[in-house]
Amino acid sequence: MSEIRVYHSFRSPYSRLGLHIVQRAGLDVELIPFTGPPDGVVFSDPVANKPKLAYYAVDAPRMTMRMGLPISRPDPFEVDLAPSYKASIAAVHDGFGMAFALAVSDARWGEGKNISEVDVLKECAKNIGWRADAIDASQSALSVGKAMKKHRTLIEEDGVFGVPFAVRDGAKYWGHDRFDILVEDAAV
């Protein structure tokens, strides 16, 4: 079986959809929080692009409803994602990676919760049967810091420029709408 790396961000409603596609297909993937593009690459922030943001305001709910998922605008919208990324890395280490990533994505985009709050992350952990105290420990764990450095290297090597993004056997898939192709290719 091929190794599949899936880059995701809790900031993106499309990343949430990509995670759901991967989970529904039962793919075994390496989850990597997208902490930004490779060094030296300009990141085109969709929130800073008014026409693109207006499109997202229509398209993200449309695509979310097509998948049968609830949607709610996060409040506040701009949050510090570092605590959620650190917790998601610890969740992977403890065998709860996909379940936690989905719980956090759903808390943000399905319920509008502020995922920069540790209590929200602890609630997500409890909801999937993971230890809530792991959230506090993840924020300063050396293993999490090492994983984040490794992830930055993989982001560079794979040339990740947005999310959701997957890499399988050198083939790249960007956008949740390409994850159906990823699932098809992984079945071959």
List pLDDT tens digits, range 97-118: 999 999 999 999 999 999 999 9
Quick one: pLDDT at residue 37?
85
Residue 8, classed as helix, strand or coil, is: strand
Instruction: Report the pLDDT value the prediction gives residue 50, as an integer from 0 to 100.
Output: 85
Note the pLDDT of residue 79.
Answer: 95
Residue burial 79-101, b: 16+ Cβ < 10 Å; e: rest:
bebebbbbbbbbbbeeebbbbbb
Whether the bond into 33 is cis, omega within 30 of 0: no
What is the DSSP code string of 35-85? --SSTTPPP--GGG-HHHHHHHHHHHHHHHHHTT------SSSS---HHHH
Q: Which residues, given as ranges, of the chain have pLDDT below 50? A: none
Identify the helix (H) or strand (E) that includes residue 167: strand 165-168
What is the reported pLDDT for 134?
Answer: 97
pLDDT score for 122: 98
**CA-based R_g, the chain, Å:** 16
Q: Which residue, 105, 137, 136, is CA-closest to 119?
A: 136
C-alpha to C-alpha distance for 136 and 118, rounded to whole angstroms: 8
Say what the pLDDT of residue 179 is: 96
* pTM, 2 dp: 0.93
81 residue type, one letter: L
pLDDT at 1: 53
Domains defined along the chain, listed by start? 4-187 (3.40.30.10)
Predicted local distance difference test score (pLDDT) of residue 60: 94
